[in-house]
Amino acid sequence: MHSASTITSKLEDIARLLKLKVKKKDGGLLKLEGSEKGRKGVLSIDTEIFEFTPSFHLVKVKSSSGDTLEYLQILENGIRPALKDIVWAWQGE
């Protein structure tokens, strides 16, 4: 129930706390990248915001490269808790 700019700002804040670099792209796409090379390369997370109505958005978060375990740890311990005040439901729950 928040605007796309609010969601984007929240994702940028989360990235700073997790020490990830943020690259903005067109169409509501943010790329979050780690600064250190892991077991399978540098972690890269794509987040995409889809607007259904001005107050209803879908935020898609997926790993685009790097270690899957590292991605899951960041998702479960960093991104999900930080977005709990603006996310209505998570896939699979």
The set of long-range contacts for 22-31, using a CB threshold of 8 Å and a minimum separation of 24, is 28/4, 31/64
Six-digit token pair at 89? 């439901």
86 DSSP assignment:
T
The pLDDT-based confidence of 21 (bands split at 50, 70, 90) is very high
Phi-psi region of 82 (alpha: psi -120 to 50; beta: other; left: phi over 0): alpha
Domains and their CATH numbers in the chain: 4-83 (3.30.310.80)
Residue 42 CB neighbour total at 10 angstroms: 14
pTM to 2 decimal places: 0.81
For 38-90, write each residue's pLDDT tens digit.
777 889 999 998 888 887 888 889 999 988 898 999 988 888 888 888 777 76
Q: Is the pLDDT of residue 93 over 60?
A: no
The pLDDT-based confidence of 92 (bands split at 50, 70, 90) is low
